């Protein structure tokens, strides 16, 4: 069964905790942090992570879409992040960022954009706990799922098996009941779902449906 991480980017910003409290069965909360430079948008920051860590028991999966994340990752772990994701495209010091996250006590995650080949992270795989495959171009919620992401997940899953590694594979962007089985069968362990969850009337029902479809 797949793990589900509702993305609070699609929740009501004026009633964030109200929306989060309506979600039951989520394995993580996905928190997108955007700096307006690495991606053309601004979103949640350190204060949001600090507040969420005090107000919910759900583990926080913090996705940093920011330039030079190695300068900030330790602060996000201290703020309450259980997982910290950094893009290979955002820094020349990705190995340093991973080591800082690990030393701070959080799970390490490397993120790759749709146009980035898996070769960019192959050397890092033994050092990380999770790989996040972007199935949309980062920066905005509600985008259409890129079908090419499935073959990318399959290649990564095959690489994981061939090298005897145990990192999780997460996918983010355009996830719904229409494609959840396909990504799960391809090798995905964790699915981020934003508008599919928070755009519905019953958030918990949406989470449960994604899980049911991958039993």
> Which residues carry out catalysis?
32, 172
Q: Where does the chain have alpha helices with state H? A: 16-20, 46-55, 73-79, 94-104, 148-162, 180-186, 195-198, 203-212
Number of alpha helices (DSSP H) and beta strands (DSSP E) in the chain: 8, 8
C-alpha pair distances (Å), 168 with each of 16, 36, 50, 121: 28, 28, 25, 14
In the sheet with 168-172, reading across from the earlier edge strand, the strands are 3-6, 190-193, 168-172, 130-134, 107-112, 83-87, 59-65, 28-34
Q: Which residues have a Cβ under 8 Å from the Cβ of 171 and sit 6 or more positions away?
A: 132, 133, 135, 149, 153, 183, 188, 190, 191, 192
């Amino acid at each position: 069964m797949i793990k589900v991480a509702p993305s609070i980017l699609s929740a009501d910003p004026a009633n964030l905790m109200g929306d989060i409290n309506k979600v039951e069965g989520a394995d993580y909360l996905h928190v997108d942090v955007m700096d307006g430079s690495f991606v053309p948008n601004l979103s949640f920051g350190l204060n949001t992570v600090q507040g969420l860590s005090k107000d919910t028991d759900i583990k926080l999966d913090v996705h940093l879409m920011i330039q030079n994340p190695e300068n900030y990752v330790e602060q996000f772990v201290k703020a309450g992040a259980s997982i910290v994701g950094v893009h290979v495209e955002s820094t020349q010091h990705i190995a340093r960022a991973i080591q800082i996250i690990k030393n701070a006590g959080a799970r390490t995650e490397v993120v790759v954009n749709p146009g980035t080949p898996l070769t960019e992270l192959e050397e890092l795989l033994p050092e990380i706990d999770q790989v996040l495959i972007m199935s949309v171009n980062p920066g905005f919620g509600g985008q259409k799922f890129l079908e090419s992401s499935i073959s990318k997940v399959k290649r990564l899953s095959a690489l994981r098996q061939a090298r005897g590694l145990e990192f999780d594979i997460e996918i983010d962007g355009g996830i719904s009941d229409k494609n959840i089985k396909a990504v799960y069968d391809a090798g995905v362990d964790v699915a981020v779902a934003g508008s599919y969850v928070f755009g519905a009337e019953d958030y918990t029902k949406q989470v449960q449906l994604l899980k049911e479809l991958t039993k």
